[in-house]
Amino acid sequence: QVQLQESGPGLVKPSQTLSLTCTVSGGSINSGGYYWSWIRQHPEKGLEWIGYIYYSGRIYYNPSLKSRLTISVGTSENQFSLKLTSVTTADTAVYYCARDGVGRDGNNFYFDYWGQGILVTVSS
Amino acid sequence: DIQMTQSPSSVSASVGDRVTITCRASQSIGNWLAWYQQKPGKAPKLLISAASNLQSGVPSRFSGSGSGRYFTLSISNLQPEDFATYYCQQANAFRGITFGQGTRLEIK
């Protein structure tokens, strides 16, 4: 059974960098075949896809966040990370990591496994 | 990006009822559509992929249909555990993965 778990600071100051890690258990990112994404949900609002990474390093970002965003595979084979620079209060959200286990082609994404989510608040 | 618009924003229904939720895309997306169920404090759960493919373990009272710009999620014989918020999602990354604003299904 695949499990994902987000970790990182729950409070970030404006203009600083938000850094999160997703740890995957029950499967290996480096075995290939799956794409790994970050998705966020603003308080009481809808969902926003942030971007994805494949174990080979192939990445694709939401154009609205691209200039501030870095997604990378972690030093551990079962981790990938998110860095979002120059944050504002508009970046306050629950951040999820998720796996596309259905499309699996790098074109169409259906997220079948999700982490529990981590609330990140941007505030001074 | 393709805009996904769900209707209604909220709906009240009773146990045993049938409910239909609609999702409209701002342009044609073929069948690149998913439906998710989200309960308070939990991550979304994938119900349907490619517009009509029911995921393993999802009860057969859930069904999806549509293609192009118009899609529906139907839930028949509503059960207490079905009361949640439902989201549609445009699945193609190069067109911009986007979600609908959600439909809240409440107990009448």
Chain B: give the shortest CA distance to residue A75, in Å. 26
Q: Are residues A116 and B89, on separate chains, in Cβ contact within 8 Å?
A: no
Tell me: the pLDDT tens digits for B67-107? Answer: 999 999 999 999 999 999 999 999 998 888 999 999 999 99
- Could you tell me how many CB contacts below 8 A there are between chain A and chain B? 62
- pLDDT at A124 (0 to 100): 95
pLDDT above 80 for B49: yes
Q: How far apart are CA A55 and CA A36, in angstroms?
A: 8
Chain A: give the shortest CA distance to residue B46, in Å. 6
**Average pLDDT of the residues in A10-27:** 96
Tell me: the pLDDT tens digits for A61-91? Answer: 999 999 999 999 987 779 999 999 999 999 9
Residues 6+ apart with CB under 8 A from A105: none
Q: Which of B43, B45, B102 sits opposite A117 (nearest CB)?
A: B43
Least confident piece of the model among A42-46, B47-51, B80-84? A42-46
CA end-to-end span of chain A? 39
B84: closest CA among B41, B48, B39?
A: B39
Q: Are residues B55 and A112, on separate chains, in Cβ contact within 8 Å?
A: yes
Taking CA atoms, what residue in B is nearest to A62? B96
Does A122 or A75 have the greater pLDDT score?
Answer: A122
Q: Find which of A111, A113, A118 to mutate to test the B interface (most B CBs within 10 Å of its CB).
A: A111
- Are the beta carbons of B41 and A106 closer than 8 angstroms? no
Which residues of B fall within a CB distance of 8 Å from A47? 44, 87, 89, 99
- pLDDT at A15 (0 to 100): 97
Q: Which of A107, A111, A116 sits opposite B92 (nearest CB)?
A: A107
